């Protein structure tokens, strides 16, 4: 574990929660690389100077005191935490690293209330495991696989955050969803036909997305094709989801802009 990483000015810790597959990721990088690329593109004034990637599967996951010591109630060099997507189930009890991460996030959620932990972003798996850590239920989606470029309906709070937009396009590929109502101090930002909890937000504290803002069209199509080769979707479905990428915008950059604003303590 990179416990002795020297923090510079304005850093973000990226928690990588997936296997690093050199064959699949050689073109675009792994989930952490893709997330970092997205945030760097959105960070127009280079507010974040460094991104520390911690491999949650193979490295020792830091404890909550490690995050608190580098955040220093907002006065330290650690400005944010980003949790990636994953091919693993967030609710799995078969992998110790997932149980350890969930325990850490349960502690982090408590400390977020007292401004002792930097703002946190969760994407797909990250969205789900944060919800689990807060006491919500995550399970297989009874409505089935959500895949393709999805047009989400924004709530009133979501519309306010996204400059009055009522809908937003995001790349999605997931069998699992978060069920139920979020904690009372969290706000729901969006929903879709197959998923009621597409995004959560807590001011100055947290923002999460069920979809993949980091998946540009090239990445999305490669992931969809991998699902086809694995037999999860058929020829017709593959054509449909590829066309959703070809015919619709991808607004992950708007979501990344909010991530940077969160790390700046602006939203």
pLDDT tens over the chain, length 267 residues:
445 566 778 999 999 999 876 656 677 889 999 999 999 999 999 999 999 999 999 988 999 999 999 998 888 999 999 999 999 999 999 999 999 999 999 999 988 777 789 999 999 999 999 999 999 999 999 999 999 999 999 999 999 999 999 999 999 999 999 999 999 999 999 999 999 999 999 999 999 999 999 998 888 898 899 889 989 999 999 999 999 999 999 999 999 999 999 999 999
Handedness of CA 117, 99, 258, 159 (dihedral sign): negative
- 11-16 and 50-55 beta bridge pairing: parallel
Domains of the chain with bracketed CATH: 11-143+174-216+251-263 (3.40.50.880)
Cα separation values, 109 from 33, 51, 97, 129, 197, Å = 25, 22, 18, 11, 18
Three-state SS for 192? coil
* pTM (predicted TM-score): 0.95
Three-state SS for 262? helix
Residue 16's beta-bridge partner residues? 55
φ and ψ at residue 188, rounded to 5 degrees = -85, 135
What's the chain's Rg over C-alpha atoms? 17
Q: CB–CB of 219/25 below 8 Å?
A: no
Q: CB–CB of 173/147 below 8 Å?
A: yes
The set of residues, in sequence order, having a beta carbon less than 8 Å from that of 93 and lying 6+ positions away, is 99
Q: CB–CB of 146/126 below 8 Å?
A: no
Cα separation values, 61 from 14, 48, 68, 175, Å = 11, 22, 14, 26
Q: CB–CB of 34/51 below 8 Å?
A: no
The reported pLDDT for the residue numbered 1 is 46
The reported pLDDT for the residue numbered 5 is 64
Continuous H helices in 26-155 = 31-42, 64-71, 96-112, 125-133
Could you list the active site residues? 124, 212, 214
């Amino acid at each position: 574990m990179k416990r002795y990483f020297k923090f510079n000015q304005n850093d973000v810790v990226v928690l990588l929660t997936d296997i690093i597959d050199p064959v699949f990721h050689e073109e675009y990088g792994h989930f952490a690389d893709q997330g970092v690329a997205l945030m760097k593109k959105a960070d127009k004034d280079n507010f974040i100077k460094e991104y520390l990637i911690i491999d949650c599967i193979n490295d020792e996951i830091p404890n909550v005191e490690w995050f608190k010591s580098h955040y220093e109630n907002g006065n330290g060099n650690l400005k944010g935490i980003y949790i990636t997507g994953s091919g693993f189930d967030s609710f799995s009890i078969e992998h110790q690293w997932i149980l350890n991460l969930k325990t850490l996030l349960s502690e982090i959620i408590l400390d977020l209330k007292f401004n002792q932990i930097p703002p946190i972003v969760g994407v797909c798996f990250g969205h789900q495991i944060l919800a689990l850590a807060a006491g919500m239920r995550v399970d297989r989606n009874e409505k089935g696989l959500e895949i393709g470029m999805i047009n989400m309906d924004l709530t009133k709070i979501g519309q306010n955050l996204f400059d009055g937009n009522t809908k937003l396009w995001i790349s999605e590929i997931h069998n699992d969803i978060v069920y139920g109502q979020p904690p009372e101090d969290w706000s729901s930002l969006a929903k879709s036909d197959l998923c009621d909890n597409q995004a959560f937000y807590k001011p100055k504290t947290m923002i999460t997305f069920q979809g993949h803002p980091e998946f540009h069209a090239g990445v999305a199509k490669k992931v969809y094709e991998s699902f086809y080769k694995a037999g999860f979707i058929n020829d017709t479905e593959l054509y449909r989801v590829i066309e959703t990428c070809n015919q619709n915008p991808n607004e992950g950059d708007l979501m990344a802009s909010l991530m940077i604003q969160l790390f700046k303590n602006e939203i």
